[in-house]
Amino acid sequence: MPAPAAARTRPPSDSALLTLDEGSSVIAAALDRHLRRAPGVDCSHLVHTVYDWAGFPYAYADSSDLYRGTDHFRRVKHAQPGDLVVWPGHVGIVVSARHHTFFSALSHGPGTAKYDERYWRRRGPARFYRYLKSDQSAALMNSDR
């Protein structure tokens, strides 16, 4: 029997969001030298690959779609490691909210930068999104084992 409409539209609880420890595993995957990064890979493909490598799959979305919001991420006010930092046309993964650093495909290749630098501020306000764990994501992760 389907859930009542109110239950279907109610946002998931925070317990369904990526934890700080899980976010750290996303950072570890991003910084792992064994993760092969093809030359010329854009930011959204790189981020998608990192999340998949870390065991948190989602349907690919480009940076514009991520900026508008997707079913796989929930917008948050305060970033933590492993969250997405997104501007219109660019996406990265927060490495340190305290130091305002993120990992992404940059002009010189994959690396880190500060999301509060003038260059990034000129792109407009950054939005932060946290991965939303779902039954489907868990099933995908378990099928890989």
Residue pointed to by tokens 């934890």: 19
pLDDT at 1 over 70: no
Distance CA 139, CA 133 (A): 11
Are residues 26 and 95 in contact, defined by beta-carbon separation less than 8 angstroms? no
pLDDT, tens digit, 9 for 90 and up, residues 24-76: 999 999 988 766 666 668 999 999 999 999 999 999 999 999 999 999 999 99
**Residue 21: its pLDDT value, please?**
95
* pTM of the predicted protein model: 0.82
pLDDT tens profile 100-111: 999 999 988 888
Q: Which CATH number fits domain 15-143: 1.10.3720.10, 3.10.560.10, 3.90.1720.10, 1.10.287.70?
A: 3.90.1720.10
Looking at every residue in the chain, the average pLDDT score rounds to 84
pLDDT of 11 > 70? The answer is: no
Instruction: Inform me whether the pLDDT recorded for 80 exceeds 60.
Output: yes
